[in-house]
Every structure is written in structure tokens, then in C-alpha cells.
Amino acid sequence: MTAVRVIRSEWTKIRSVASTVWTLSLAVVVTIALGMLISALSRSQFDSMPVRDRLSFDPTFVSFAGMSLGQLAMIVFGVLVVSNEYSTGMIRVSLAAVPQRGTFLFSKVAVAGVLALAVGMATSFAAFFLGQAMLGSHRTYLGDPGVLRAVIGGGLYMALIAVFSMGVAAMLRSPMLSLGILMPFFFLISNILGNVNATKKVGQFLPDQAGSRIMRVIPRIGDDTPYGPWGGLGIMVLWVIAALVGGYALLRKRDAQ
């Protein structure tokens, strides 16, 4: 089967599964709604903030406050795209139809990744504009230095989170096991490692902490992160590549089951 036909097949699979629509919709709604709420609260509390917080106030980054929850929906999307076929047993049929396992996996990742990128970009721009509207006089503008980079970076970040999850799901195969590892890792472990002095330097190089650097325009006072916005995104890309390579290696080695 040619790569074009495999890509078309994967697009049909994604469109026919209701869970992908729901998870992507949830990512959009949660990211935008929470971003608007935090932006509105920041505007109302700005005058009472400590001077240190006001000096490092980043209106662009505040509008992406919902990304921490929105990324969880993108994780679910990425995991389900890959592992649904294992849980239903359809993986045997798929690999029988496409015995070239590299073509099979990377066609799936390409289709789902492009979809995640389109949704991520739309969500990022919407979160930015609506968040800035909530900030009122404390807002920033798309043409200000670094802002467009941060907004585009927000869309890239969401897409990379989804693709990273696809790679992990390809390695683990089980949706429950994949979600059971990824959810606490991003929601709890990464935050703990990044906020404890003894492990902070390690936490800076985790995919979500490094990648989210691209969305920040104004650095925090005393921030000693050893890389910039694009460097952080580059670190995240390396994590994604590692996950995909691992998924591909195990897919080639194992039987379809």
C-alpha cells in the first residue's frame, strides 16, 4: 500500500472515532476558558500584586494559563490515536494491510500531528486574543516584541505534546498504562521536580517545562534557565524524537497484539 493511501486510511480512522473529536474539543475549550478566567483575575488583582510579580508580569503567558489543563486533553488524544487499535484488536488488521511498520506508524503520526497542530494553532491564537481582552489595560499586542513567537509557539507546544504521547503509546500499547504514566508525569511529577530546589535543574529539561519556555515573553526575575525560548522548544523536540524512535523500534520488534 502506498504512503498516500495509508495516510488517507489514517485520516478516515481518526475522523470515524468520536473520542478524537471530543478530546480535541475539550483541549480547545479548557485552554481558552481557563486562560480567560486567569487573565480576568490577574487584571483585578494586578494592583495588589507584590512589586516583584508586577515587574515580571507576562500578559502573553498569562493568557496561556489554561494550557496546563488543555495539554492533558492533547495527551489523551495522542494516546487514543495510537492505542485504540491495540485495545480493539484492529492492530492485526492494520498491520496485515500495511506490513511496512514504519510507514504505518509515521503515517498515523503525520495525520494526527497535522490535526493537532491545526487545533493547537487555532487554540493558541484564540486564547491569546480573548485573554488579552480580559486583561484590559494590562494587555499586550501581537505586534509587540516576542509576542507572535510566543503565540505560534503555543500551537507548536500543543502539537508536540500530542506527538510525544503518540510515541509513548506506541511503546506501551495499552491506553490505560500510557495515560497512567503520562498524566501524573505532566500534571504532578514535572511540577514537583521543577519547583523543588534540589531537582529544579533536572526539571528544567523535562519536555513540558522546556517546551513551555517558547510561550514566555517576559522572563521571571531571578530566572536562571540555561536556554532561551527556541532552545527550550528544541529540547522538547528531542524528547518527541526519542519517543517516536522508541515506539518505532518496539513496533518493529513485537508481534501485532
47-85 residue pLDDT tens: 888 888 788 899 999 999 999 899 999 999 999 988 877
* Per-domain residue ranges of the chain: 3-253
- Residue bearing cell 517545562: 209
Cα–Cα distance for residue pair 250/244, rounded to 1 Å: 10
pLDDT tens readout for residues 241-252: 999 999 989 888
pLDDT of residue 1: 56
User: Three cell numbers at 150?
Assistant: 510566543
Cα–Cα distance for residue pair 13/7, rounded to 1 Å: 10
pLDDT of residue 53: 79
Query: Residue 53, CB half-sphere, CA atoms under 13 Å: how many?
Result: 9
User: Percentage of the chain surpassing pLDDT 90?
Assistant: 56
Number of H helices, E strands in the chain: 13, 0
pLDDT of residue 3: 72
The pTM of the full predicted model, rounded to 2 decimals, is: 0.91
- In this predicted structure, the answer to whether residue 257 has a pLDDT above a threshold of 60 is no
The residue-averaged pLDDT of 116-138 equals 95
Are the CB atoms for 31 and 66 separated by under 8 Å?
yes
Neighbours of 226 (CB within 10 A): 9
